[in-house]
Structure 1
């Protein structure tokens, strides 16, 4: 529950400091977390909160590319500011060497040997690397490792 508590504490601090933009983003994050908890009738742990944050980050990346394509720099800048706040709650990103090391460890653990084992391998890697790596990049590296790409 540490991440949810940190979000709550930061929301209170942003209120006291009068930081409206940061406060707005934290409220959006808390609303997304609460929505998922209500929809699924569960209490999210840190890994699930990270998944919510990753999803919100991906949505903003998509929005930035759309706004840039439409020439709406003002809206793209707002999305980038929101991305910076959301990213501050994510763990540090792993470099490619660390991701490859995690893939190698998972291959050794699962005995994956070919492209057919990709799902099994991703199932092991996703919880381990959540929030620390772009899963698209992980998927590409797994394909490369298993000889499927």
Structure 2
């Protein structure tokens, strides 16, 4: 079962159990996935969504929810904060675990050593990281680590 199909199953199980919070976020994510299928002219089968595209869609939603959380915190709306945090937990449950900062630093150091990269190869390093560890590594963190390594 694909991750996209799991979202569809979550909608069904939330309907049966009466879990309104889970139903709301699962339906929302399901509609985003279906919008992607329409935009890409794919059949309306959730199984046609690749894992990379699924992660891209979920990451976009996480980013939007985090922005909404900032506004809710400024407005001190505790109900909205609780809802958004629940939504973030649900969305993050689909994303692979991100590498820790130490593991990221070690990986980058090994890449630099193994490929004998210099500070001029920043783009090559980032490209290699994105290609091999895209959904497991925070690319912003990786970028700052690379800059720090070459500034030393």
Q: State the TM bucket, normalised to the shorter chain.
A: 0.7 to 0.9
Measured after TM superposition, the shift of residue 136 of structure 1 is 2.0
Aligned length: 147
In 2, the alpha carbon distance for the partners of 1:108 and 1:9 equals 46
Q: Deviations over 1:104-148 (max 9, x none)?
A: 34435654311x42222222212433343333222212222333x
* Residue in 1 that maps onto 2:136: 132
Gaps of 5+ in 2: 43-47
How far apart, CA to CA, are the structure 1 residues paired with 2:37 and 2:143?
Answer: 28
RMSD of aligned alpha carbons: 2.4
Report SS of the residue matched to 1:90. coil
1:15-34 to 2 correspondences below 5 Å: 15-34=15-34
Structure 1 runs of 4+ aligned residues shifted over 4 Å read 108-111
Instruction: Give the TM-score normalised by structure 2.
Output: 0.80
The equivalent residue for 1:38 is 38
Unpaired runs of 5+ residues, structure 1, are none
